[in-house]
A and B are shown apart, each in its own frame.
Chain A
Amino acid sequence: MQRSKRFEILEDRPVNKDGFVKEWPEMGFVAMSSPNDPKPSIKLENGKITELDGKKREDFDMLDQFIADYTIDTTITEQVMALDSIEIARKLVDINVPRSEIVELSKGLTPAKLLEVLNHMNVVEMMMALQKMRARKTPSNQCHVTNVRDNPVLMAADAAEAGLYGFDEQETTVGVVRYAPFNALALLVGSQTVRGGILTQDSLEEATELRLAMLGLTSYAETISIYGTEPVFIDGDDTPWSKSFLASAYASRGAKMRFTSGTGSEVQMAGAEGKSMLYLELRCVMMAKGAGVQGLQNGSISCIGIPASVPSGLRAVLAENLATMIFDLEVASGNDQTFSHSEIRRTAKMLCQMLPGTDFIFAGFSAVPNNEDMFAGSNMDSSDLDDYLIIQRDLMVDGGLKPVDEETVIEARYQAAKSMQAIFDELGFPAITEEEVEAATYANSSDDMPARNVVEDLKSAEQIIRDGISGFDIALILAKRGYRQTAERIFDMLKQRVAGDYLHTSAIINKDNLVMSAVNDENDYSGPGTGYRLSPERWEEIKNIRQAISPKDFD
């Protein structure tokens, strides 16, 4: 066949490098609705659930049992289940129905019932509901700060820069596992150099991650994964009970934590049991609720390529974010992994969370270049920051970030690198040279950094865990070496651990060291003029991008 020139141009477009597949419901390769999804039902005997979504208690798997016994409120479930699903869907969109009423209803929903509700809604209705249902009134954002060489000087400088952009949570992970304590330290020091209150995380194997949190080198965790079918859950040597236990280990030490789940994971592991991706994810959301955690990171996360390949897949991803909010949980709403070669497509997806606002619009906007992102690349990276800031300004939307000026960034990066230099010096770790400080101050990526002696670094990194070098030790060193402000901010973070206020749902800590959560910053959206509105100060911040020309420039 002679090729159409127009088709040849289309085929060269980035979107055609993405993978698309037809639905295959028998294997669960379907976004929001499979013929094998159960029909909603509930039966109670003596206050105990004996039937859930068409399944008798004796046939329950451990997920059904957990949800029936710990999530669903038996005092109201029959009343809620008697409501028409479309009526619940309309309540979600209706500005005259307050958020609190929906949260009350959520206590009686079953996974299959909520699935029906969400299937009645289009994406604009879901975004309307997101705007109302988000637990914290003020939207926010999280970033990834990593580099391929785990260079601690660069990481601290990158964390400082990300702090200036306004990310309230920063997440790192490792290339080489044994570098983990350095990465936690770099993130802590870099973030607190520019502003107090930034929460930091080091995503690792669970025992090490918990240990670093207990040392006060990190302040939250989120990569505690749960799954929507029993075989996949067991595959990870876990149960909903073991995950609940881990959650309480964090909480009891004053560290914030949330679970992680997402559509597509069960398909990827060939354990979907023929159910739709969204149905399985709703079971995860309800397990998170039953476990008593304050929040959930979802929106497919690392399996995003799977829902993104099927019809209505990105709608399902939005629906899972909404479901999390309906259960009054904090949501860190994905957008944290590459899923498309197309700039149009990745922007379209991101707007679903950015426009209505979520607790964390990205569960990791890569604050570094994507080839430095050790989470395998985010939906947006440091080269997209100006686009993002300008979209905020164009649409008068708070995406959680603010414009920065180059000089301030350079100064902050320098201060963060110098602080690391002082800490390494005091602890007798391999010296950070002036050349390294200089390189980190102006660097884009680890290519710009002089090589470090990895073997010697790793010995010192291990020493942090072995000797139990804590956040308090770091604060003392910084105070001694003249970095008093950073020292005080780190000390304040430790005080937060004792107070525990930031364990409340959707908590972030502002620059004045005040916790803002669903408790004291409750979302009260009920239509135009209510809920979150940009303050005049915040709007000034968003407006003033460095690229805008002023009439004054022409005098």
Chain B
Amino acid sequence: MTTSTFTIDMKLTEIGQATKGTNPREVIVVLGPAFGKELNKTIVKLDHATVLREILSGIEEQGAVPKVIRSLRTADLAFMAHGAAQLSGSGISIGLQSRGTVVIHQRDLDPLSNLELFPQSPVITLDMYRKIGQNAAKYALGESPNPVLVVNDAMTRPKYQAIAALLYLKECQSLIPHQKPVELKAEFSITE
């Protein structure tokens, strides 16, 4: 086992209301209202900084262009991501809640439909977040990737259902009614 001693710090700066993108290679990552702000770790204690960095790296290494925005009027994953897909230059978005639940969405789909959904946040690994970024990029570039393998564990309910609800409630406390999404500048620094 390797012992990594570095930490990743993330700085999210609001740079104004999110506008409709024109770059056809653009993939929007929409964060939950409390992501990296009031909440900083997923349900299995993965740092938000690390999770977001994996997703953005996954998008970039496939040749797409990520943009990060924050949802403020809804914390509902489907509606966050569906809204972001409307703004995305490619029509592809990734929704990411603070607890770690994630979805890949597309502009033309119904809100409650999706391209790929990962409903069980406790079983999503950093490697999967990176692959989700990669797949979103591939959809944006017109490819049809194999979906990222979904893990199913019947005992996640006893262990995590209550905590998942708790984290969603906390996320909802950061909601601002009627407020449109804001664009964020995401900067990462690594300290050894």
A residues whose Cβ falls under 8 Å from a Cβ of B: 17-21, 24, 27, 29, 264, 267-268, 270, 303-306, 308-310, 337-341, 370-371, 373, 376-377
Is A306's CB under 8 angstroms from B158's CB?
Answer: no
Complex partner residue of A267 from B154, B159, B163, B165, CB under 8 angstroms: B165
Is A377's CB under 8 angstroms from B161's CB?
Answer: no
Segment with Cβ contacts to A, from B86-94, B102-110, B130-138, B166-174: B166-174
Q: Report if B1 contacts A (CB, 8 A).
A: no
Which residues of A sit under 8 angstroms from B155, Cβ to Cβ? 17, 338, 341, 377
Which residues of A sit under 8 angstroms from B158, Cβ to Cβ? 17-19, 305, 308, 338-341
Is A21's CB under 8 angstroms from B162's CB?
Answer: yes
Nearest CB of chain A from residue B97's CB, rounded to whole Å: 12
Interface membership of chain B positions 150-161, coded 1 if the CB is closer than 8 angstroms to chain A and 0 otherwise: 000011011111
Q: Name which residue of chain B comes closest to A272, CB basis.
A: B169
Q: Name which residue of chain B comes closest to A15, CB basis.
A: B158
Nearest CB of chain B from residue A379's CB, rounded to whole Å: 10
Which residues of B sit under 8 angstroms from A27, Cβ to Cβ? 169
CA distance A376 to B163 in the complex (A): 18
Complex partner residue of B162 from A17, A270, A309, A337, CB under 8 angstroms: A309
Given contacts A20-B162, A309-B162, contact A376 B169 (CB under 8 A): no
Nearest CB of chain A from residue B53's CB, rounded to whole Å: 28
Which residues of A sit under 8 angstroms from B160, Cβ to Cβ? 19, 305
Is A29's CB under 8 angstroms from B159's CB?
Answer: no
Is B154's CB under 8 angstroms from A376's CB?
Answer: yes
Is B161's CB under 8 angstroms from A17's CB?
Answer: no
CA distance A264 to B157 in the complex (A): 13
Q: Report if B75 contacts A (CB, 8 A).
A: yes
Nearest CB of chain B from residue A44's CB, rounded to whole Å: 37
Is A308's CB under 8 angstroms from B154's CB?
Answer: no
B residues whose Cβ falls under 8 Å from a Cβ of A: 75, 154-155, 157-163, 165-166, 168-169, 172
Nearest CB of chain A from residue B42's CB, rounded to whole Å: 15
Given contacts A18-B159, A341-B159, contact A29 B165 (CB under 8 A): yes
CA distance A305 to B163 in the complex (A): 9
User: Total A-B pairs in contact (CB under 8 Å)?
Assistant: 68
Which residues of B sit under 8 angstroms from A310, Cβ to Cβ? 162
Nearest CB of chain B from residue A390's CB, rounded to whole Å: 24
Is B157's CB under 8 angstroms from A24's CB?
Answer: no
Which residues of B sit under 8 angstroms from A339, Cβ to Cβ? 157-158
Q: Is the interface of B mostly helix, strand, loop or mixed?
A: helix
CA distance A308 to B162 in the complex (A): 8
Complex partner residue of A21 from B157, B163, B172, CB under 8 angstroms: B163
Given contacts A19-B159, A19-B160, A270-B75, contact A371 B165 (CB under 8 A): no
Q: Name which residue of chain A comes closest to B175, CB basis.
A: A270
Q: Closest 5 interchain pairs by CB?
A: A305-B161, A309-B162, A377-B154, A27-B169, A19-B162
Report 7 cross-chain contacts, Cβ distance below 8 Å, ordered by A residue.
A17-B159, A267-B165, A270-B172, A308-B158, A310-B162, A338-B157, A371-B154
Which residues of A sit under 8 angstroms from B168, Cβ to Cβ? 268, 270
CA distance A319 to B142 in the complex (A): 54
Which residues of B sit under 8 angstroms from A18, Cβ to Cβ? 158-159
Given contacts A17-B155, A270-B75, contact A303 B169 (CB under 8 A): no
Complex partner residue of B169 from A29, A309, A377, CB under 8 angstroms: A29
Which residues of B sit under 8 angstroms from A341, Cβ to Cβ? 155, 158-159
Q: Name which residue of chain A comes closest to B43, CB basis.
A: A19
CA distance A535 to B39 in the complex (A): 60
Which residues of B sit under 8 angstroms from A371, Cβ to Cβ? 154
Q: Name which residue of chain A comes closest to B154, CB basis.
A: A377
CA distance A92 to B72 in the complex (A): 49
Is B154's CB under 8 angstroms from A270's CB?
Answer: no
Is B163's CB under 8 angstroms from A19's CB?
Answer: yes
CA distance A371 to B165 in the complex (A): 24
CA distance A308 to B166 in the complex (A): 13
**Max chain B C-beta neighbours (<10 A), residue from A19, A304, A308, A339:** A19
Which residues of A sit under 8 angstroms from B161, Cβ to Cβ? 19, 268, 303-306, 309
Which residues of B sit under 8 angstroms from A305, Cβ to Cβ? 157-158, 160-162
Q: Name which residue of chain B comes closest to A345, CB basis.
A: B158
Which residues of A sit under 8 angstroms from B163, Cβ to Cβ? 19, 21, 309
CA distance A376 to B154 in the complex (A): 6
Which residues of A sit under 8 angstroms from B165, Cβ to Cβ? 29, 264, 267-268, 270, 306
Nearest CB of chain A from residue B73's CB, rounded to whole Å: 14
CA distance A417 to B168 in the complex (A): 46
Which residues of B sit under 8 angstroms from A17, Cβ to Cβ? 155, 158-159
Which residues of A sit under 8 angstroms from B75, Cβ to Cβ? 270
CA distance A19 to B163 in the complex (A): 7
Nearest CB of chain B from residue A372's CB, rounded to whole Å: 10
Which residues of B sit under 8 angstroms from A20, Cβ to Cβ? 162
**Max chain B C-beta neighbours (<10 A), residue from A303, A304, A305, A306:** A305
Nearest CB of chain B from residue A347's CB, rounded to whole Å: 14
CA distance A303 to B168 in the complex (A): 14
Q: Name which residue of chain A comes closest to B162, CB basis.
A: A309
CA distance A303 to B161 in the complex (A): 8
Which residues of B sit under 8 angstroms from A268, Cβ to Cβ? 161, 165, 168
CA distance A322 to B49 in the complex (A): 48
Is B172's CB under 8 angstroms from A337's CB?
Answer: no
CA distance A305 to B168 in the complex (A): 15
Nearest CB of chain B from residue A342's CB, rounded to whole Å: 9
Nearest CB of chain A from residue B107's CB, rounded to whole Å: 22
CA distance A341 to B158 in the complex (A): 7
CA distance A74 to B169 in the complex (A): 38
Nearest CB of chain A from residue B157's CB, rounded to whole Å: 5
CA distance A122 to B169 in the complex (A): 30
CA distance A267 to B166 in the complex (A): 8
Nearest CB of chain B from residue A81's CB, rounded to whole Å: 33
Q: Name which residue of chain A comes closest to B170, CB basis.
A: A27
Is A338's CB under 8 angstroms from B154's CB?
Answer: yes
Which residues of B sit under 8 angstroms from A309, Cβ to Cβ? 161-163
Which residues of B sit under 8 angstroms from A21, Cβ to Cβ? 162-163, 166
CA distance A20 to B165 in the complex (A): 12
CA distance A39 to B87 in the complex (A): 47
Is A270's CB under 8 angstroms from B169's CB?
Answer: yes
Q: Name which residue of chain B comes closest to A28, CB basis.
A: B169
Which residues of A sit under 8 angstroms from B166, Cβ to Cβ? 21, 24, 29
